[in-house]
Amino acid sequence: MLKRWQFWVGVLISAVFLWVALRNIHWADVWSALRTANYWWLAPGVAIYFVGVWARAWRWHYLLKPLKTISTNAMFPIVTIGYMGNNIYPARAGEVLRAYVLRREQGVPISASLATILIERIFDGVVMLMFIFFNLNALAHLTMSSGFAGSIQALTVWGTAAFAGALLVFLLAAMFPHQSLGLYHRLVAPRLPAGPRAKITPLVENFWTGLEALRSPRNILMVFLTSVVIWLLETGKYWFVMHAFDFTGYTGGFFGLMLMNGIVNLATTIPSAPGYVGTFDTPGIAVLSAYGVNPAVAAGYTLVLHAALWLPITLVGAYFMARAGLKWETVQADYQKLEQAKPAPGADAQPPAHRPNTSGAESAGAKGGAE
């Protein structure tokens, strides 16, 4: 599932980001900010964050409905396991981990659930870009004092093009399943060797079933609105944790924290060490400093916020993973077997009872598993 070189490249990138963020920080001032912080504010921050995690579970349950109806209660532990995996394993392995656990617990094909996870990530990116766009005027005024924050304007344009393009491709594939999957069968499949084609084709067909939720405008609206709620709740955690520190001079308000949230989460798409070390902290400190927060206070706040985002969900995910009797080594070995196995047509190496009907181009609108 993971390659060693990916881990070390991520560590190198994180080290560079941390050096950029901390090279001019006075650590005595950071320690003073940490020592005088009122950590009781973390409690409501963590609470509102887990409301957002519950909303994520509901969103995934909604996206998976065309494949199988699974309760939000059943989805919540799997979501926490996935986010725990993202926090401690490199290369966002948690996304594959939760797809694996979903297959193990509910029989949903891995390739189909990965399609729904990609949809989540696209909508998350769109919302993050919205948060930045809402604050473009403020960002323009920050350009003079923060080169890093100011450069986000250009990155926002390119990011918008990338996420909008990806969303358009997914929407077209979902709205025209026969035609889009037919392109694969006509243009790609005939050019693949017989062995790989027998393995790849059912995975592609199952992936198309995961796009089913995007065929309805109502579903698209529901997923989008849920994504907005999720990220507003997470910004609420930023707001609560802010009150633990002396933000004298801060001029951003809640919208400034929305901007910070958008920037740092887009930055975490850059490969890094597990837990988004550096890629989260550097832009966070830069944005807050540009808004008038003392850099040492900004560093202390960002480090505490990062820990408060990382630790609770990681502990909860580890608990549910242990309760399910899963070990990372076992998951890796089992996943390697799934990748190396030659699945029967329309399956992700799993029993037919859980298999979506993905015969040829007709597969994209089919349901799988017991409702």
For residues 133-154, give the mean pLDDT: 63
Give tens-digit pLDDT for 152-194.
Answer: 566 666 777 777 788 888 888 888 888 888 888 888 888 888 7
Give the residue among 112, 158, 161, 91 at the shortest CA–CA distance from 369: 112
Q: Which of 21-35, 185-199, 312-326, 332-346 is the least confident region? A: 332-346
Give the residue among 160, 127, 133 at the shortest CA–CA distance from 59: 127
Q: Which of 69-73, 131-135, 295-299 is the least confident region? A: 131-135
Whole-number Å distance between alpha carbons of 146 and 143? 5
With tokens 């994209």, the residue in question is 364
Give tens-digit pLDDT for 38-65.
Answer: 999 999 999 999 999 999 999 999 999 9
**Residue 198 CB coordination number (10 Å):** 14
Q: Where are the domains of the chain?
A: 4-349
For residues 138-163, give the mean pLDDT: 63
Tokens of 222: 């529901």
Give tens-digit pLDDT for 79-129.
Answer: 999 999 999 988 788 999 999 999 999 999 988 899 999 999 989 988 998
75 or 146: which leads in pLDDT: 75
Predicted pLDDT at 144: 47
Task: Output the pTM of the full model.
Answer: 0.82
pLDDT band at 364 (very low <50, low <70, confident <90, very high): very low
Cβ atoms of 205 and 358 within 8 Å: the answer is: yes
Predicted pLDDT at 157: 64
Whole-number Å distance between alpha carbons of 151 and 218? 36
Predicted pLDDT at 321: 94
pLDDT band at 339 (very low <50, low <70, confident <90, very high): low
Give tens-digit pLDDT for 226-272.
Answer: 999 999 999 999 999 999 999 998 989 999 999 999 989 988 888 88
